[in-house]
Amino acid sequence: MARRHHERHNIGNTGWLRAAVLGANDGVLSTASLILGVATATHSHGSILIAGVSGLVAGALSMAAGEYVSVSSQADVEKADLARERRELATDKDAELKELTGIYVQRGLARDLAAQVAQQLTAKDALAAHARDELGITEESTARPLQAALASAASFSVGAAVPILASMIAPINIVVASVYISSLLVLAGLGALGARAGGAPLLPATLRVTFWGIVAMAVSAGIGMLFHVQV
The predicted pLDDT at position 4 comes to 52
The predicted pLDDT at position 92 comes to 83
**Tens-digit pLDDT profile for residues 8-59:** 544 444 445 666 777 888 899 889 988 988 888 777 888 889 989 999 999 9
Per-residue pLDDT of the chain (231 residues; tens, 9 = 90+): 445 545 454 444 444 566 677 788 889 988 998 898 888 877 788 888 998 999 999 999 998 898 888 888 888 888 888 888 888 888 888 888 888 888 888 888 888 888 888 888 888 888 888 888 877 777 666 667 888 888 889 999 999 999 999 999 989 889 888 998 999 898 888 888 777 766 677 788 788 888 888 888 888 777 767 765 444
- Distance CA(68)–CA(72), nearest Å, equals 6
Provide the 10 A C-beta neighbour count for residue 90: 11
The predicted pLDDT at position 231 comes to 40
- Distance CA(45)–CA(39), nearest Å, equals 8
- Distance CA(164)–CA(168), nearest Å, equals 6
The predicted pLDDT at position 39 comes to 85
Burial 50-68 (b: 16+ CB within 10 A, else e): ebbeebbeebbeebbeebb
Largest CA distance in the chain: 80
The predicted pLDDT at position 45 comes to 85
pTM: 0.70
- Distance CA(75)–CA(102), nearest Å, equals 27
Count how many Cα atoms sit within 13 Å of the Cα of residue 37 in the half-sphere of its side chain. Answer: 16
The DSSP symbol for 3 reads P
